[in-house]
Amino acid sequence: MADWGPVLIAVVLFVLLCPGLLFQIPGSSKNRVIEFGNMHTSGASILVHTIIYFGLITIFLIVINVHVYTD
């Protein structure tokens, strides 16, 4: 049996946390902390989204121990 849990979680988090797709932290303009759906990115937003991705994938895969088995 193959464990597809880590693959599914990684793909979903990667798609949802792409900077600019749903939200961007910090915003591309200097006066906004967060922007929604602007489809732009910056080095700072890539760093922030990478840290959020690493934290969430660690929680889901190591702490909660999510598994999806297929036959």
- pLDDT for res 57: 95
- pLDDT, averaged across the chain: 89
Res. 41: pLDDT tops 90: no
Q: What's the predicted TM-score (pTM) here?
A: 0.83
Does residue 52 surpass a pLDDT of 80? yes
Classify residue 1 by its DSSP letter: -
Q: Average pLDDT, stretch 19-44?
A: 86
Residue 52 CB-half CA count within 13 A: 17
User: Please, which residues bridge with residue 70 across strands?
Assistant: 2
